[in-house]
Chains A and B, each alone.
Chain A
Amino acid sequence: MRVRVKYKKGDTARFLSHLDMARNLRMALARAKWPVAMTQGYSPKMKVSFYAPLPVGTAGDEEYMDVILDDEGIAGFIQAKAKGAGKRAQNSDVLVRLARALSDVLPKGIAVSGLYVVPDGKPNFESQIRASLYRIEVEEVNTEALSSAIEEFLAQEQVLFAVQRPKQTKTVDLRRFVEKISLVPGLNPATLFMKIRHDNGRTVRPQWVIDSLSRFGMGIDTGEITVDRLKLYLE
């Protein structure tokens, strides 16, 4: 059985990387004693998938992971949890109990917000993600200059950006991915919303977009901005 877990990443957990998140969620599943199906081989691993990675520092309100449960194990899990209750477990009870068990053991800043069964034969979840909506807060900034830099960015046909990877530098066209940027007037800190496209798992980080604004007269230290992903748009 494939269970999709919707969760939030915020508070101190905002500063965890995608790999850290995967490690922590796997360990939480083990603490919660979820009957997770394991891979075969020498070092069996939990069958868990994570999607739409977020970088260190970025929070997410609607994150997802898929967990494949071992069908035989589910009965055992229910029995262990229902001990003494004397009731026959319904399918909905299973999800409630799974959610409760996981919620109890998650690290600070990570919380389950939904849980549902995904029927077999659905396409890969990553390819269903169409776009992300981000909120970005910038402290102590000249909003007029920021606004005009955004306008200039949007007026470009192409904004090439060099992404530094440990071993190479890759160039991406940021403009192609940015669907919308809007600066909310009158807020302090300055707040903007940015909708960024996903293309079969390929996307760009809002931090890169902010970084590229320096070309349009708006230099911002991306180490000092607060980025939250509010929403994933699904197909």
Chain B
Amino acid sequence: MPGNQQTPITWNKLRRYLGKVEKPARYTGGEINSVQKDPQSVDVLFALAFPDVYEVGMSHLGSQILYAVLNGRDDVSCERVYAPWHDMESLLKEKGWPLFSIENRLPLSSFDIVGFSLQYELAYTNVLMMLDLGGIPLRSKHRGPRDPLVIAGGPCAMAAEPIADFIDAFALGDGEELSLEIVDTYKAWKATGRSRLDLLVMLSLVEGVYVPSLYDVKYNCDGTVAGVSPVPVRLGDESYKSIKAQTGDLSLQSACFPEDKPGYFVSPSSVKRRVIKSLEDAAFIDKPLVPLIEPIHDRVMVEIFRGCTQGCRFCQAGTIYRPVRERTPETITAYARKLLEASGYGEVSLVSLSSADYSHIEELLSRLMTGCPGSRVSLPSLRVDSFSVELAKMLGASRTGLTLAPEAGSQRMRDIINKKVTEEDILSAAGNAFSSGFAHIKLYFMIGLPGEADEDVTAIADLAKKIRQIGRDMGIRPTIVVSVSGFVPKPNTPFQWEPCIQPEELRRRQKLLRDGLRGPGLNYKYHDVEHTWLEAVLARGDRKLAGALELAYERGARFDAWSNHLDIDIWEQVFHDTGLDPAFYAHRKRDAEETLPWDHLDFGVSKQFLLREREKARNGIITSDCRAGHCTGCGVCLNLGVEMSLK
């Protein structure tokens, strides 16, 4: 019998009060291709938890993949749960109802496994809210034999030490195979009827699973991490024997069951990220979930390749999804057709980190246009060059406008961040765009990048004006939207040691840019300084932040990623009350020798490579893309035993 037997919220009960909340269809289910199994008929009940509202979660491709993979198994039922909006949180509390799943309206606490998707740090308080409303003890150490196993994956899992105290196990890397191995391990453990510690130990032996409670963090007196090391745990005789015997990998067995410590288990000193070898052969969703209310991305998505080798030095996605693994144009076209038919959508989006890099992009687009007649094809994440504009033109996107991301305004800055594009590229792309009928161009930039001077900031305005002038010279009146975000140094990147600039300084640079961007046809958009600041604190935080997170949640912090929802006073007070200095995390320059809170998690790219890239950034030296055939020595293929797979 799966889960903990608890009664679902009945439809009649829920129906009566749903009229009180905004967009009640967020909580009703009934979506096309949703899977509703009888909980009694399966061995493992898995809750796929997305810590943001329904419309955001339903737009997340990774969750759709895991939903299909897990429900593809007869012995597993995977149900979804999203962060309830404020009104629903109030209703749950008023009625004394627990947070429940969409499909069978089961309380979150009745699941065997609750798996969170961590897409951005500012969703951490929502994770706590969902656990709390779901009736699950917040801290891992307070959970007992009847509580669900709480796991988390996604990009943040590679450095999620601030929420390590709340998560039983992190799943690092690609989830297609790993999620099933976790389920199998859970099933095997459940059959033994042994303790929760046994489960954690068994999970820590699965490659790609990081069990934070099996590691101890020591700090230096200046607050930096001195080291993260496995804590030896005493297992019962029977557990010791059977888990040891089941550890097939002999080198892992001898490392984790040291002879000089009989009866003790020592988890692996570092945890490697999981990668699937081939995207071409990876699980594919043939029955996409179609929400009944409009999600953020209202179209079907086909991943054309995973990983990116552009090597932009600020970009975490560019390192933690390596190496590049492509699908063939035939497969992509066949998938797109199936998805369009099964969903009723008229648009397919080709998902990747840099679409124009796809080896057969032109062939793919013409195949799609003949293979999926009447459907639109959209291509996000274009490069800033004329080739990309040609692609956009092929797709007839001129009525919607063109979005390009030069990321920095001056050539000097673009060299620092390894954005391999010259001003000439940008201007000729713009000229091409205007002559192709685009009148609206949206440009993405970052400010606060390492080494940035005022000239680099004003160069953004100059570039926008040059682009506007090109349009004017061609007899059109273009609109240039300049969208600017504050740079947040991220773990696993060459800039992971750099300080994030102070909020006041970011504000000054924003104003500097605004002053340069006045005039007709120029539109300036920028992110809140507060969001940048909090993200910078949490992104590279350590376990000491757990107390602050918990307190912030208790004091009402929710949906911090949403503009107008982040209450910065709560956070400042919380840091004050917990005696933590946010500047220590956000604004401090870290030494190359310093142990970083995520150093025990091996994402494949070597630290030496990141340091070399940092050095090259300082000297403004470009590193080329390894797609072209020159290995840059990042180490990922060797470390993870995979190869770049171009089709």
Contact = CB atoms under 8 A, between A and B. Distances in A.
Contacts of B28: 12, 15
Nearest to B18: A15
B345 A27 contact: yes
A80 B15 CA distance: 41
Given A28-B344, A107-B30, A16 B19 contact: no
B36 to A, nearest CB: 9
Interface of B: 11, 15-20, 23-25, 28-32, 290, 292-294, 341-346, 374, 376, 396, 399
Interface stretch (A89-97, A123-131, A179-187, A218-226): A218-226
A225 B15 CA distance: 10
A20 B25 contact: yes
Interface string A18-40: 00100110111111000000000
Contacts of B346: 30
A105 B32 CA distance: 8
Closest 5 CB pairs of A and B: A27-B344, A223-B20, A108-B30, A30-B344, A12-B28
A79 B16 CA distance: 46
Given A13-B30, A20-B294, A107-B31, A29 B344 contact: yes
A79 B259 CA distance: 74
B17 A223 contact: yes
A12 B30 CA distance: 7
Contacts of A109: 30
Contact of B25 (A16, A29, A221, A225): A16
Residue of B19, B28, B30, B31 with most partner-chain A CB within 10 A? B19
A234 interface: no
Contacts of B23: 56
A199 interface: no
Contacts of B344: 26-31, 105
Interface in A121-152: 139
Interface centre among A12, A16, A20, A108 (most CB of B within 10 A): A12
A226 B15 contact: yes
B29 A23 contact: no
Interface in A34-79: 42-44, 56-57
Given A20-B293, A26-B344, A42-B399, 18 more contacts: A12-B11, A12-B30, A15-B25, A16-B25, A24-B292, A27-B343, A27-B344, A30-B344, A31-B341, A31-B342, A31-B344, A56-B23, A105-B344, A107-B292, A108-B30, A223-B17, A223-B19, A224-B19
12 contacts: A16-B293, A17-B293, A20-B25, A20-B292, A30-B346, A31-B343, A56-B24, A107-B30, A107-B31, A107-B292, A108-B30, A222-B19
Nearest to A108: B30
A28 to B, nearest CB: 6
Given A31-B341, A31-B342, A31-B344, A57 B18 contact: yes
